[in-house]
């Protein structure tokens, strides 16, 4: 049998209640709720900001330190992918071009 102390049990119950209230806030309210214009404009940039926050560190950081050499396949593949995107505006082509540059450098040259 599990043995919970009262503080742990209270913490679990309160965190559950807070989660339910915050996630159902929009359903509980009886009048329509809209974001201000400045917040709606800011949310338009959220997906690209999140993507950049994930992708950029993968390109410029290696084992917790900034890349210090130009012989890194990720740098060249990111540059080729970015060039393709600005030229053709296609996401699939960006991925394909980036991988076509990355794989030979990584597997062939060992970068």
Q: How many CB atoms lie within 10 A of CB 56?
A: 11
What distance in Å separates the CA atoms of residue 79 and residue 74, rounded to the nearest whole number? 8
Structure confidence at residue 63 (pLDDT): 85
What are 46-95's pLDDT values in tens digits?
988 998 999 899 899 988 888 888 888 999 999 999 999 999 988 899 99
Q: At what angle do helices 91-103 and 73-88 cross, to 10 degrees?
A: 150
Would you state the pLDDT for residue 11? 95
Q: How many CA atoms lie within 13 A of 67 on its CB side?
A: 16
Asked whether the predicted pLDDT for residue 109 surpasses 80, the reply is yes
Structure confidence at residue 44 (pLDDT): 92
Question: Cα 32 to the chain's mean position, in Å?
Answer: 30
The tens digit of pLDDT for each residue in 14-46 reads 999 999 988 887 777 777 878 899 999 999 999
The model's pTM is 0.59
- Domains of the chain, residue spans: 6-29+48-108
CA gap 81, 89 in Å, rounded:
10
């Amino acid at each position: 049998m599990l043995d919970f102390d009262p503080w742990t049990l209270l913490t679990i119950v309160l965190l559950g209640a807070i989660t339910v209230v915050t996630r159902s806030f929009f359903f509980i309210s009886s009048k329509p709720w809209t974001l201000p214009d400045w917040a709606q404009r800011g949310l338009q940039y959220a997906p690209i900001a999140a993507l950049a926050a994930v992708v950029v560190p993968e390109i410029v950081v290696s084992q917790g330190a900034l890349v210090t050499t130009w012989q890194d396949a990720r740098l060249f593949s990111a540059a080729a992918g970015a060039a393709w995107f600005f030229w053709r505006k296609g996401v699939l082509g960006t991925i394909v071009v980036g991988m076509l540059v990355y794989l030979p450098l990584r597997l062939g040259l060992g970068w």
